Chain A
Amino acid sequence: MIRVVLPAHLSLLMGRHGEVLLEVAEPVTPRRLLDALEETYPVLRGTIRDRVTQQRRPFIRFFACEEDLSHDSPDAPLPGAVIRGDQPFYVVGAMAGG
C-alpha cells in the first residue's frame, strides 16, 4: 500500500486525518497515485492538480524520501521506498507568508 500524507486543509475537506493508504497499480507514478487518490476522495479533484490541465497547483509540492519531486515528470516512477510503503508520499502546501 502507498502511504500518502496530506496537508491539514485537505484532511479537513476529506473529513479524515492521518495517512491515507492507497492501492496503486504499477508502474507507480505521481499521476497514477493522484488518480487513485482522487478516485477514492472525489472532493480532492481540483485541489492538488488543476481540473483541466492536470498540472500541479502552483503552491503544492510533492516530497518523498527527503527529496522534492515536485518538478519531476508526473509519469516518472516513484522511489522504491514509497512503493514498498516504507516511506510516505507527502503532498505539501508550500510555506508562504510571514
Chain B
Amino acid sequence: MTSVRVLVGTRKGAFILSSDGARSSWNVAGPYFEGWEMYHVKGSPVDPQRIYASQSSGWFGQIIQRSDDGGVTWSPVGNGFTYDGVPGTHQWYDGTPHPWEFARVWHLEPSLRDPDTVFAGVEDAALFKSVDAGENWTELSGLREHGSGPFWQPGAGGMCLHTIVESPRDPSRLFVAISAAGAFRTDDAGESWKPINRGLRSVGIPDEDADVGHCVHRIALHPANPDVLYMQKHWDVMRTDDAGESWHEVSGDLPTDFGFVIDVHAHEPETVYVVPITSDSVHFPPEGKLRVYRSRTGGHEWEPLSRGLPQSHCYVDVLRDAMAVDSLDECGVYFGTTGGQVYASRDSGDSWEAIVHDLPAVLSVEVQTLA
C-alpha cells in the first residue's frame, strides 16, 4: 500500500504528516523537539525509515537527531562540526574580514546510495559529511579552501550552505549553493570544487557577473536529466543544460522573479515550480495572492496555479527548503509557509489544499513516497 510522509521543520519543532496514497486525509504527528528550530528534516532515499533532523537553537547550539523507525523514535547523534584546520576569514557584511564560525546546520542531504552517508550544509558556509549515520562529521574542506572563500559574504540570513544536490548519475559529482557566494560543483567526491556561476548577473554586487558573490537561493534537478539544473536566484530564475558550466535566465513571464523555492515534477523533467515573492524587501506574494507558478517548458513560459490557495490578504513567505514533490503516478507537490500552513496538491499543482493551517513558521518540507 503506497503512502506519503511529509517531514516538516518549523521554528518551534518538527512535524510528520502522513497519508495513504489517496492523499486526501492526513494524520499530523508532533511537535517533535518542541521549542527548537528545526531547519531541515529529510529521509534517506535508500532506507526511508532512516530520517535525519537538524535541531538548533541560538542559545544551545546544534544537535543532529536520527530516527531509524520512520520518525517514531529519535536519538541524538554527533554534533561535532569542526572546521578542518585553521578556517581563516570570509568577508563580513561591511566587507571586513570575519573569522569563520559555526552557527548551525541548514540542510541535511542523505546520500542517494548509502543510508549511513549524509551531507550537512552549515553556516558559516561549509560542507560536512558523515559516513556513520551522523555520529561523526568531517568537513569537505576543499570547497571552503578552493580559493574564493575569503571573498564570500553572508546574505541577510547568514552565510549558509543551504543546498546540496547529489548527481544521480555520477556518485563523484555534487552541487552546492551558498548565500551569498553562489553555486559550486565537485566531480571528485568533494576533494576539489569550482564555482559554476557563469551567466548569473546580480545587481548589487560590484561586478554583476563575478565568478562568486551571487545569492543563489535554491537549485533543483530531475534525476532523468542530471545535467539540467534549475535555480531560483535572489532575483532571476535560471537554467543550465551543461551541469552549471553556463546558465541562462528562464524567468520569462513570471510576475516577479524573486523567490526562494524551486522544484521539478517527479515524472516530467521540464515541469518546474516556483513561488514568486514580491521582492527582496517585501517578502510576501505579489498582490497578497499566494500562487505557485508552473512551467511545462523548462522555463520561460509560466502559468499561475491558484485553485485552493488564498487569493487575498495573504502575506506569508515560502522559504528555500520548503517545497518538495512526491513520486506517485500523479505527482504531488507540497510547500510550507511562514504562516504555518502546509499546502499539498495531488494533481501536479492544478489544485491545492492546506494539510495543516497553524504550525509555527515552516522552514522546510520534504516528502517520502513509501511503497
Residues of A within 8 A of B (CB): 7-10, 12-13, 43, 45-48, 50-52, 57, 59-60, 93-94, 96
Hey, what's the 0/1 contact readout for B30-57 against A, CB within 8 Å counting as 1?
0001111000000000000000000001
Other 17 A-B pairs with CB < 8 A, given A12-B33, A57-B59: A7-B59, A9-B36, A9-B57, A9-B59, A9-B60, A10-B60, A12-B34, A13-B63, A43-B76, A46-B79, A46-B80, A47-B60, A51-B79, A51-B82, A57-B61, A60-B59, A60-B60
On chain B, the residues within 8 Å of A12 by CB distance are 33-36
The reply to whether B34 and A57 form a contact with Cβ atoms under 8 Å apart is no
A7, A46, A52, A59 interface centre (most CB from chain B within 10 Å)? A46
Docked Cα-Cα span, A45 to B117, in Å, equals: 23
For chain B, what secondary structure do more than half of its interface residues adopt (helix, strand, loop), or is it mixed? loop
Q: Which residue of A lies closest to B57 (CB)?
A: A9
On chain B, the residues within 8 Å of A57 by CB distance are 59-61
Interface size class of B (residues with CB under 8 A): 10 to 19
On chain B, the residues within 8 Å of A13 by CB distance are 60, 63, 76
Q: Which residue of B lies closest to A45 (CB)?
A: B79
* B62 on the A face (CB < 8 A): yes
Docked Cα-Cα span, A57 to B179, in Å, equals: 25
The reply to whether B61 and A46 form a contact with Cβ atoms under 8 Å apart is yes
- The distance from the CB of A98 to the nearest CB of chain B, in whole angstroms, is 15
Q: Which of B65-102 contact A (CB under 8 A)?
A: 76, 79-80, 82
Docked Cα-Cα span, A45 to B76, in Å, equals: 11
Docked Cα-Cα span, A52 to B60, in Å, equals: 15
The reply to whether B35 and A47 form a contact with Cβ atoms under 8 Å apart is no
* B58 on the A face (CB < 8 A): yes
Which of these, A8, A43, A51, A93, contacts B80 with CB under 8 Å?
A51
Docked Cα-Cα span, A57 to B57, in Å, equals: 11
On chain B, the residues within 8 Å of A9 by CB distance are 35-36, 57, 59-60
- The distance from the CB of B152 to the nearest CB of chain A, in whole angstroms, is 21
Residues of B within 8 A of A (CB): 33-36, 57-63, 76, 79-80, 82
On chain A, the residues within 8 Å of B36 by CB distance are 9, 12
On chain A, the residues within 8 Å of B80 by CB distance are 46, 51
The reply to whether A48 and B63 form a contact with Cβ atoms under 8 Å apart is no
Which of these, A10, A43, A59, contacts B58 with CB under 8 Å?
A59
- 14 pairs from A and B in contact (CB 8 Å cutoff): A7-B59, A7-B60, A8-B35, A9-B36, A9-B59, A9-B60, A12-B34, A43-B63, A46-B62, A48-B60, A51-B79, A51-B82, A57-B59, A57-B60
On chain A, the residues within 8 Å of B35 by CB distance are 8-9, 12
Q: Which residue of B lies closest to A52 (CB)?
A: B82
- The distance from the CB of A8 to the nearest CB of chain B, in whole angstroms, is 7
On chain B, the residues within 8 Å of A93 by CB distance are 59-60
- The distance from the CB of B136 to the nearest CB of chain A, in whole angstroms, is 13
Docked Cα-Cα span, A88 to B342, in Å, equals: 43
On chain A, the residues within 8 Å of B60 by CB distance are 7, 9-10, 13, 47-48, 57, 60, 93
Docked Cα-Cα span, A60 to B58, in Å, equals: 10
- The distance from the CB of B79 to the nearest CB of chain A, in whole angstroms, is 5
B34, B61, B62 interface centre (most CB from chain A within 10 Å)? B61
**Would A94 and B59 be within 8 Å (CB), given that A12-B34, A12-B35 are in contact?**
yes
On chain B, the residues within 8 Å of A52 by CB distance are 82
On chain B, the residues within 8 Å of A8 by CB distance are 35
- The distance from the CB of A18 to the nearest CB of chain B, in whole angstroms, is 18
Q: Which residue of A lies closest to B82 (CB)?
A: A52
- The distance from the CB of B355 to the nearest CB of chain A, in whole angstroms, is 25
Docked Cα-Cα span, A52 to B99, in Å, equals: 15
Docked Cα-Cα span, A47 to B56, in Å, equals: 10
Which of these, A43, A45, A59, contacts B59 with CB under 8 Å?
A59
The reply to whether A47 and B82 form a contact with Cβ atoms under 8 Å apart is no
On chain A, the residues within 8 Å of B82 by CB distance are 51-52
Which of these, A7, A47, A94, contacts B61 with CB under 8 Å?
A47
Docked Cα-Cα span, A55 to B80, in Å, equals: 15
- The distance from the CB of B106 to the nearest CB of chain A, in whole angstroms, is 17
